[in-house]
Chains A and B, each alone.
Chain A
Amino acid sequence: MNRHLGRHRPIPATATDSESPRPYALLAEITYRCPLHCPYCSNPVAAGPLSAESKPRPLRRGRRTATANNGELTTEEWKRVIREAAALGVLQIGFSGGEPLARRDLAELIRAAREAKLYTNLITSGIGLDDDRVRALRDAGLDSIQLSFQSDESSLADEIAGARAHERKLDVAAKIRAAGIPLSLNFVIHRRNIDRLPQMIDLAEALGAERVELANVQFYGWAFRNRAALLPTREQVDRARDIATAAKARLAGKIDIFYVLPDYYETRPKPCLNGWGQRYLTVNPIGDVLPCPTASSAIPDLRFENVRSTRSRLDLARIGKLQPIPWNGMDAGAVPELSAKRNRFRWLPLSGCVADRQRREHRSGMRVLAQSRTRGRGIARNKFMQPTARLDIS
């Protein structure tokens, strides 16, 4: 998985900033287990701090956890989370991971979500999806499947995935279509495959996908570790944007193409999920309730509610607490920043250089974190205001 924190299309502004958080989507990361080992995986890097070996190392890859069900929420616990999320006003659920198919109770969870009147989407590599399983998921009420591809052809795709997966994915796509489930494709775009965008779009068309997400890699988890190998050049990014724009126009009404902007070539950080915990919730495999999918790994010092904790119930007050301080520009007047002490957060008043509009749009503090960390020293407040604040590895 490489979750895209700024991916979501704008929500029409029916809600004002002063309203309580009103999440409409739950991302249920039901397991971290996965048969693939993509170097851009956004799952938490289980290992401790980066070791300081000087010799070059191959790409580090996302990996499955050592113990199969280590700490994962049970079926009943997930069903309770689903019901509580629906009661909260959540309207749709994305089953993700890891590879959600690794859980044998997936169909049961989908059924529970449909019973709670949620729109259900499966975000998957497709590995492990045979005819019987596709039908079982459909019969449970699954509304949509988003299938990941690493490239348009098998040699590069399998190399990226660290597994012989591409041909199986093609087969799975056909099975999904045959079962009558709407199909979306997701490509995570990075330096190695970005020049093959036209072929990827062709593949989506050939497979009968209704939607394609061309998602520039976002640098969290394993992707952050592998950033030096994954970051495309500015020229590649410009070209890709033009290709995606042209394809979107050409295929309008046939395939909905969504191009996820790259992280490091914007003049400012992207709005993060339309505001932490405001519109989207994530529950990770062990039950932490997160305001964004990578909050727990990207910001080690923050603590989160867990659905297993006593009197646990998803409710608005708790979700409000997911934000370490009010951070919606109305009453906060502060943004998170790294203090000079490594990995320690403190909250500083906004300076005049950050426009009100940015505050309202909830610019991500996490981007600031990543850049400050990269530079390995104090606050780099102005860095993220500069054009092309690309990530330089020293």
Chain B
Amino acid sequence: MLLYPEGIVELNETAHEILSRCDGRTLGEIVCELAEEYEADRAAIAADVHETLADLQQRKLIEFT
């Protein structure tokens, strides 16, 4: 869950898997890990990761550093 002033976002499993890895790792590393763990296509994972993080960033819930 993400909390912000007077609001809350309940993350789905995918978003949770992505965000819980946002601890200093690069996007590339996160994509790699997820692709390995879920034995999925890297391009598809990368698209999901970018879409999820971009959406959260647009809503000022995360920042890229």
Contacts and interface: CB of A to CB of B under 8 A. Distances in A.
Contacts of A252: 58
27 contacts: A7-B6, A8-B6, A9-B7, A11-B8, A11-B10, A12-B9, A14-B10, A24-B8, A25-B6, A25-B8, A91-B1, A91-B8, A92-B8, A94-B5, A94-B6, A119-B3, A119-B4, A143-B3, A144-B5, A146-B5, A182-B5, A184-B5, A211-B4, A211-B60, A253-B60, A254-B60, A255-B60
Contacts of B14: none
A210 interface: yes
A256 B9 CA distance: 14
A146 B1 CA distance: 21
Given A92-B8, A94-B6, A119-B3, 9 more contacts: A8-B6, A11-B8, A25-B6, A91-B8, A121-B5, A146-B5, A210-B60, A254-B60, A256-B59
A9 B10 CA distance: 12
Contacts of B10: 11-12, 14
Contacts of A8: 6-7
Contacts of A7: 6
B57 interface: yes
Contacts of A210: 60
Contacts of A94: 5-6
A320 to B, nearest CB: 21
Interface in B1-49: 1, 3-10, 12
Contacts of A24: 8
Interface of B: 1, 3-10, 12, 57-60
Contact of A144 (B1, B4, B9, B58): B4
Interface of A: 7-9, 11-12, 14, 24-25, 91-92, 94, 119, 121, 143-144, 146, 182, 184, 210-211, 252-256
Contacts of A255: 60
Chain A, interface SS category: loop
Contact of B6 (A12, A121, A254): A121
A92 B4 CA distance: 9
Contacts of B59: 256
B57 A211 contact: no
A91 B3 contact: yes
B64 to A, nearest CB: 9
Nearest to B3: A119
A312 B7 CA distance: 28
Nearest to A91: B3
Contacts of A11: 8, 10
Nearest to B10: A12
Point out which of B3, B5, B8 has the most chain A C-beta atoms below 10 A from its C-beta.
B5
A184 B60 CA distance: 11
B60 A92 contact: no
Nearest to A146: B5
A92 B58 contact: no
Given A11-B8, A121-B6, A256 B60 contact: yes
Nearest to B12: A12
A91 B59 CA distance: 20
Contacts of B4: 119, 144, 211
Nearest to A24: B8
Point out which of B9, B12, B60 has the most chain A C-beta atoms below 10 A from its C-beta.
B60
A24 B4 CA distance: 12
A278 to B, nearest CB: 13
A146 to B, nearest CB: 6
Contacts of A254: 60
Contacts of B57: 253
A256 B12 CA distance: 21
B55 to A, nearest CB: 10
B17 to A, nearest CB: 16
6 smallest CB-CB distances across A and B, nearest first, come from A119-B3, A256-B60, A121-B5, A252-B58, A144-B5, A12-B10
Contact of B58 (A9, A12, A119, A253): A253
Point out which of A25, A119, A143, A254 has the most chain B C-beta atoms below 10 A from its C-beta.
A119
A255 B8 CA distance: 17
